[in-house]
Structure 1
Amino acid sequence: MRTTMKTNAMTNTDLRISLLFQLFWVFVRIGPVTFGGGYAMIPMIEREISAKRKWLGEEEMDEILSLAGAAPGGVGVNAAAFIGYRLAGVKGAIAAIAGITIPTFIIVCLLSTVYSQLADQPKVIAAMKGIHGAVIALILVAAYRMAKNAIFDKTTAVTALVIPIVLLVSGINPIYVIAVGLIIGFVYMPIKQLLGLQVRTEKDSLNDSDEESNYPEYYI
């Protein structure tokens, strides 16, 4: 029996180490090949974590990415930290953050040295313009995928339409906009209930679409 317990303990340890290495390797691959910052990383993060490996469901990924965008710091690093912690606790968060930052830091240092020498070259300027266009496309794809699950009733639709206009016109600090979004989320459901109106949530929207998925949970 002791032998069996030792074997199980070794197996669990091996699984934990394997998951930590996989987290590190996934984000090592994401960081260096993604141009344009954190929001440009979102489609690749979703594909690797949710679609390909099925570690997290789409609904949970949307919640994590929303938190990553609202929290201070870069959205890519924040997302890596949240995903790593969700799958493997503190060690998972460290592995994911290390994976997404170390190779990118090295590449940025090298690019900074090269770019300072070649910034005025016509081919380099043309390449940067092409990268800018691709980055815009990646950000739009990320916004679309998040909007599919985030906008599920009239309140969320109006909020999504009004807030970008407010940001463009007023130049208000985005932190205040995030705070307003939190208040709307906390207040509008109780008000609807008091008025006897139907209350819909993101979960109700997913259930209506019959999108049921079972994903394995990993805890360390």
Structure 2
Amino acid sequence: MPDLSTHLWLSITSLGSAGMTLPIAFAIALWLAVGYSWRMAAAWLALLGAAIGIVTVTKLAFLGWGVGVRELDFTGVSGHSMLSTAVYPVALFLVLLPARPAFRLAGVLLGLAAGIAVGLSRVVLSAHSPSEAITGCLVGALAALVFVRMAWNAEPGKLSALPVTVSMLVLALLMHGVHVPTQRWVTHIALKVSGHDRPFIRARWHALRNARPAATPLSQTRNTLTPSDSAHA
């Protein structure tokens, strides 16, 4: 792992927060609708929504029912990793759409690198296991690359790069550090749906790995038989 300060890792991880990435994602959709079509904007939001759905379902499954993969220390797809690898490549692609294809590709790769850095920060800060960060990056990258492939041949002159760039930078500055309690919301839903009083947590989940139900002594089983049970035995 790179030997960086905790403060720097926290700054990197904040780039993947929902409070920062979702406003940028909606700004992308608005620019697509204004410059191109509502269909293209809807395609982007649908892909992002599907990725968010994957993250949410895996988190609900673990928090509510303890469903995960112990061998991989997997308790749910990392939302920070997914959002950053989905949003930043598409944002840079949109900004660089008027440029030559090589520059567009470089922007997409730079966005993916930013998302991977966020995923790495989640592991360094012990917020997620490597498997959770990796799956988050893969899900986000898939959403971004599918959209980029769909929009690659879009007419480049419909949007000016300057207002798009300025809007993205302003949003990034204004929303940096804004906290959206998505984990608390997902936990609340998981408890409501599962009917449990408290969510599963990683430490408790690992502690149950080798748990086995206690065997009932044979003598105790005999003592608890009712007369009718004895008659049928």
Tell me which interval the TM-score lies in, with the shorter structure as reference length.
under 0.3
- TM-score computed with the length of structure 2 as normaliser: 0.25
TM-score under structure 1 length normalisation: 0.26
- More helix per residue: 1
**Higher Cα Rg, which structure:** 2
